[in-house]
Chains A and B, each alone.
Chain A
Amino acid sequence: MLLAAQLSDISYAFLGLLLEGLPFIFLGTLVSGFMDVYLPSGWLDRVLPKNRWSAVALSGLLGFVMPVCECAVVPVIRRLLRKGLPLSCAVAYMLAAPIFNPITLLSTFKAFENYTPDGWQLAFSRIFLGYVTAVLVGWVVMKLRASFVLKKKVLGEVLAGQGTGFGEETRAAASVALEKENRTILAMRTALRDFLETALYFTVGVFLAAVFIVRVAPGDLEGLAAQEMVSTAALMALSYVLSLCSTSDAFFIAALPTFTLSARMAFLVFGPMLDLKLTFLYLSVFRPKFVFGLGLGLFLLAGGLSLWWFEFVTIDGMR
C-alpha cells in the first residue's frame, strides 16, 4: 500500500516533468534537424568576430535572437557545433540562452512585480548575472581541449561536419545529391533521430528528478533562510532537484519571500544552467568529467556572483 502510494507520487511528478519537457525537446530537435541541412558549414564562424574572446561574449547574447529553453538548447548546440560554431561559443550560448531571452525576462518581471516596486530591476539583474556566468564559463572552455569536453561520438560528428573528416569531394557530392529534393527528408530524419536520442537522456534525468522531488519540499529549507551563504547553496541544490523550466521558475521562487534575494537570484541563475534532467541531457553531448566540472564551476560562479551582486545593488522593498 505504502509502496503503491510512493510509486504513484513518483509517477505523478515524472509525468508532469515529461509532459512539460517533451514538446520543447521536439521543438529543439526540429530546429536542429533543419539547421543541420540548411545552415552552411562554417557560416557561424564567419559571422562571429575573429577574436575568440569577443566571439564567446557575443554568443552569450544569441538567446535574444534564438530564444530556446534549457531542454531545447542541447540538441541545437550539438548541431551548431557540427556547423562550425566554436565549442566555447556553443557552451556560452547553451548556458545563457535559457536565461538571456525575452520570454524569461518578461516572466521574471511578471513573477516579481507583486513583490517589489521594481520587478524590471530584478529581471535585468537575472539576465545580466546569467550572461556573465555563461561567458565566464565559455572563456574557461576556450582553454580546454575539445577531446576533454565532448563525447567521442560527438567529437567525431563535429570534425566530420567541419570538413576534417570528409574529403571536399565527398562533401560536394553529398551537397549536390541533397540539392535535388532530399534536404527536407534528411532534415526530418535528423530531427527524429535527435529527438529520440535527447528524449532518452531526458527520460532518465526526469525519472531521477521525480524520485527526489517527492521527498523534498521547499518548506524543508525554510529553517536555513536566514543564513545567507547556506540558504544560497540550499536553493541552488533545490533548483537542481526540482528541474523547473526557466520560463516559469521565477513564479516558484518569488513565492518564497523568507529567503534572501541573493539566494533566490542564485536559484534563478543556476537552475536553468544545470539541473538533474539537464545533467543527463548534457551527458548526451559532453564527457562525464566535464559535466561534473561544469556543475561545480556553475555552482560556485552563480552562487558567488549572486551574493556579490546584492552587496552593491539594492532593490526597493527587498532584501
Chain B
Amino acid sequence: MKSSWWRWTGPLTAVFLGLVLLYFFVSRRAEVYLAPDFLNYLLFGGCGLLVLATFVICTRETAVPRRHAPSTFDLPAGMVDEEDPSSSRMRGLSFGILLLPLWGAILLTEDEFSEEVLLRRSAGGGALPERPPAMERVGEYTEERFREEHAQTPSGHFRVDAMELFYVAGDEGLMPIFKDKPVQVEAQVLALSPSEPRMWMYELMMTCCSADARPFGFPIEFDGGEKPEIPSKNRVRVTGILGFEMGEDGYLSPVIQVESIEDLEAESSGRSSPTGPLSGF
C-alpha cells in the first residue's frame, strides 16, 4: 500500500507544479512576478508538465526496462523496485523540499516587496532601465512636439509617464521644455515616515522576474499642506507642477508640487502590474 502510494508521488508532484504554473498564468497573478516576455513560457511549462505527468500516469502499466541508476524519483510500472524504509524516507524528504517551500511561499507572499525593500532598492537612482521604443526621440525636441505627444486633461494638465520623467531629468535638451509644466502622472506611492513631509512616487521595473524588480521613483511635495493618508504601494493619480532637483545621490530627479492626488485603489481594488523593459522586444 505504502509502495503504491509512493509510486504516484512523482507524476502527482508534476501535476501539482503544472497546476501552480497554470494558476499563476490564468489568474494573471504572474504579471507581478514575471517580466512580460516570460509569461508565455509559464503557460508552456504548465501545460507541458500536465501533459507529461498525464502521459506517465496513463502508461503506468507498461513495463519498460530501466536504463539508469536507481533514483529517488523513479517512476511507476516496472521502474520501481520494492520500497525499503530508508528510500521511502529519502523520497519523502525530497518531495517535501520540492513542494513545501513553494506551498509556503504562495501562502506567505503579498505579491510585492515591503516598503523597506523597495526603499533600499531605489538607491543609486542614476541607473535607468532600457528606454522603451515609444520614448525614442530623434532630432531636436520642441515645445510643439511636447504638446503633440502629450494629451491634456480638461484642467490643462499634460498626461506624462512616470518613467518618461526619469529620462527627461538630466537631459539638457528636454528639461527646459518639461520644467514648470502642469502635469498629470499615475504611479504607485510610498507614504514614507510621518516625519518626512514628502511622499514618493514610483514604477516597479523588472528585467526577468520579481527577484530583480527595482522601483524607479521621485518625490512629490505638498506645498504647505499635510500629506494625505494614502496607504503605501497604492496606485495614485497626481496633478501638479513639474520641476527638477539635485538629489542626495548626486543625480537630477523630477519633483512634483502636488495640486491634487487621487487614490486609485480606493476607487478600484485592481492592482496594476509592473512594466518590463523587454516589452516589444
Contact = CB atoms under 8 A, between A and B. Distances in A.
A178 B211 CA distance: 44
Interface string A224-252: 00000000000000000011110011011
Contacts of B214: 217-218
Nearest to A196: B73
B130 to A, nearest CB: 6
B174 interface: no
Interface in A190-244: 190-193, 195-197, 199-200, 203-204, 207, 209-210, 213-214, 217-220, 222, 242-244
A22 B127 contact: no
A203 B17 CA distance: 12
Interface in B199-233: 206-214
A252 B65 contact: no
A313 B44 CA distance: 41
A5 interface: yes
Given A15-B109, A178-B64, A189-B75, A242 B114 contact: no
B67 to A, nearest CB: 7
Interface residues on B, range: 35 or more
A244 B277 CA distance: 14
Contacts of B127: 218-219, 255-258
Contacts of B98: 196, 199-200, 203
B48 A219 contact: no
B34 A20 contact: yes
A214 B126 CA distance: 20
Contacts of B46: 23
B62 interface: yes
B255 interface: no
List the 6 closest A-B pairs by CB distance, nearest first.
A23-B45, A219-B123, A219-B124, A16-B210, A16-B209, A11-B109
Given A248-B208, A251-B207, 20 more contacts: A11-B108, A12-B33, A12-B112, A16-B206, A160-B69, A174-B67, A185-B59, A186-B67, A192-B11, A192-B53, A197-B71, A197-B72, A242-B211, A249-B207, A251-B129, A251-B277, A254-B130, A255-B127, A257-B127, A258-B127
Interface of A: 4-20, 22-24, 26-27, 30, 36, 82, 107, 110-111, 114, 153, 156-157, 160-161, 174, 177-178, 182, 185-186, 188-193, 195-197, 199-200, 203-204, 207, 209-210, 213-214, 217-220, 222, 242-245, 248-249, 251-252, 254-258
